[in-house]
């Protein structure tokens, strides 16, 4: 494990609720800084080492031996500037008698080759439980005795949630990574207008169109976007879709050449999942499954 990746790097925080991101430096003694940097370096290895890289498209959940990658990721300039000149970053301290809320912790390094900059940065989302609560009795052990500590403090874990290198953001959990960065522009999600247009589609008949629009959460919006992009509703008739669904054990009702969309969230998920090709019948069990992610195989492979 390359524990020297973040050697002599400063520990930074991203202030919550700021655009562009406001950055502060955590002043700490040399031993503490070294320990945190080594932990982040080891965590980077655990995140991506000896794992298969999968390009992120918003529809695939990686296995334990895979990680997701967003190419040409636009990292905020304030973060890059902080890595370039860490001593020029203001220290993390009280503002108006309170410490600023923390969104994430990061450690990074900069190098230069052939006139081009290279950045390696590890990010850890910051959770509320990482604040050391002053409401409780925080006892620290020293010389056979526990002493109460009432000063403000934070805890930093030994893991990272995403890693930036050579213009690419790498992570294993989209849910955790999006707590550090806004990733909405890197995958398709239906807009409000698209949801309205989808509910007015001539291929669909809604039991309650207003209720459908109200239940259109992130998952449903992503399905709508993918269904629209695939043009499945344009390329197939309602009866053809009904017939194909029956082969996978899914019952779809039609009326006047339209697919009926019931006012039932679970049934809606099954129908939208089928239209986005995430429903299938197991070849051995013949049981119908609804997948929670999918990944396209670019080259068809056969077992010989």
Q: Write out the DSSP string of 87-151.
A: GGSPBP--BTTBPPPEEEEEEEEEEEETTEEEEEEEEEE--GGGEE-SSS-EEEEETTEEEEE-S
| pLDDT at res. 298 | 61
Chain mean position to CA 268? 24
| pLDDT at res. 296 | 65
| pLDDT at res. 207 | 94
| pLDDT at res. 186 | 85
One digit per residue, the tens of pLDDT, for the chain of length 304 reads: 455 688 889 999 999 999 989 999 999 999 999 999 999 999 999 999 999 999 998 778 899 999 999 999 999 999 999 999 999 999 999 988 899 999 999 999 999 988 889 999 999 999 999 999 888 899 999 999 999 988 899 999 999 999 999 999 999 999 899 999 998 888 878 889 999 999 999 999 999 999 999 999 988 998 898 899 889 999 999 999 999 999 988 999 999 999 999 999 999 999 999 998 887 777 787 887 777 666 666 654 444 3
| pLDDT at res. 224 | 93
Evaluate the CA torsion angle 10, 114, 170, 66 in order and state its sign: negative
What CA–CA distance (Å, rounded) separates 125 from 121?
Answer: 13
Burial of 151 (0-12, 13-18, 19+ CB in 10 A): exposed
| pLDDT at res. 304 | 37
Structure tokens at 91: 């220290």
Structure tokens at 175: 């849910």
Model confidence, pTM = 0.73
């Amino acid at each position: 494990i390359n524990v020297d990746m973040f050697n002599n790097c400063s520990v930074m925080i991203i202030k919550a609720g700021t655009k562009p991101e406001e950055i502060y430096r955590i002043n700490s003694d040399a031993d503490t800084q070294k320990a945190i940097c080594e932990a982040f370096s080891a965590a980077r290895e655990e995140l991506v080492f000896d794992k298969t890289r999968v390009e992120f498209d918003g529809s695939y959940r990686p296995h334990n031996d895979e990680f997701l990658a967003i190419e040409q990721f636009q990292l905020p300039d304030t973060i890059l500037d902080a890595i370039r000149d860490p001593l020029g970053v203001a220290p993390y301290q009280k503002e108006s008698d309170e410490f600023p809320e923390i969104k994430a912790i990061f450690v990074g390094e900069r190098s230069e080759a052939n006139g081009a900059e290279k950045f390696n940065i590890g990010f850890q989302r910051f959770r509320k439980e990482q604040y050391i609560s002053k409401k409780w009795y925080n006892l620290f052990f020293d010389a056979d005795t526990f002493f109460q500590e009432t000063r403000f403090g934070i805890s930093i874990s030994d893991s990272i949630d995403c890693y930036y290198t050579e213009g690419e953001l790498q992570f294993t959990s989209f849910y955790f990574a999006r707590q550090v960065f806004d990733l909405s522009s890197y995958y398709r999600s239906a807009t409000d207008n698209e949801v309205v247009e989808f509910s007015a589609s001539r291929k669909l008949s809604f039991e309650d169109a207003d209720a459908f629009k109200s239940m259109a959460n992130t998952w449903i919006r992503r399905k709508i976007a993918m269904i629209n992009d695939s043009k499945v509703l344009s390329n197939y008739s309602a009866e053809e879709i009904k017939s194909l669904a029956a082969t996978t054990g899914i019952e779809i009702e039609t009326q006047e050449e339209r697919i009926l969309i019931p006012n039932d969230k679970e049934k809606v998920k099954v129908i939208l999942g089928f239209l986005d090709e995430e429903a299938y019948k197991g070849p051995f069990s013949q049981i119908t499954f609804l997948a929670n992610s999918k990944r396209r195989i670019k080259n068809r492979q056969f077992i010989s």
